[in-house]
Amino acid sequence: FAMVSDRKKLTKDLLQVRAIIEPPIAALAAQCATDQDVEELKAILEQMEHAIRRKKDYSGLDVEFHTKIAECTHNVVMENLIPVIGRGVAVFAKEVEKTEYRQTLISHRKIFEYIRDHKPVEAQMEMQFHLLYNSNRYQNEPVSE
């Protein structure tokens, strides 16, 4: 991704790919997550919520959160997709003009709760909403000169 010079296109394309792959990953995580996975995901979420409430940079924790969701699937192929997911989160965080704290807090909490409660349909829908929200927000940002 570092070789791509058009950062706006890269960010849009990564959001598009994430919207395709991450919602079903969230559903599979809700089906397969162990109690240990849920505890680890909760710890990451709580650290991220702490940073968000203080309006601090939470992008590294955001990458950890989405990475942990992928790990919760216990799918060996997922190991190859995790770097793409993590990089997608990181690129978006760097390229987005204005950090969104409130909706990020709400969406991540709901995604976690649906995974914790083993509700795959709801986890998938919430992840889809989260990614579409970010995609729309990014596309509606003013073009910088």
Residues 6+ apart with CB under 8 A from 91: 1, 7, 10, 11, 14
pLDDT tier for residue 70 given thresholds of 50, 70 and 90: very high
Residues 6+ apart with CB under 8 A from 6: none
On average, the pLDDT of the chain sits at: 87
CA 82 to centroid of chain Cα atoms: 11
Q: Each residue of 120-136: pLDDT tens digit? A: 999 999 999 999 988 88
Q: Each residue of 93-118: pLDDT tens digit? A: 777 767 778 888 999 999 999 999 99
pTM of the model: 0.87
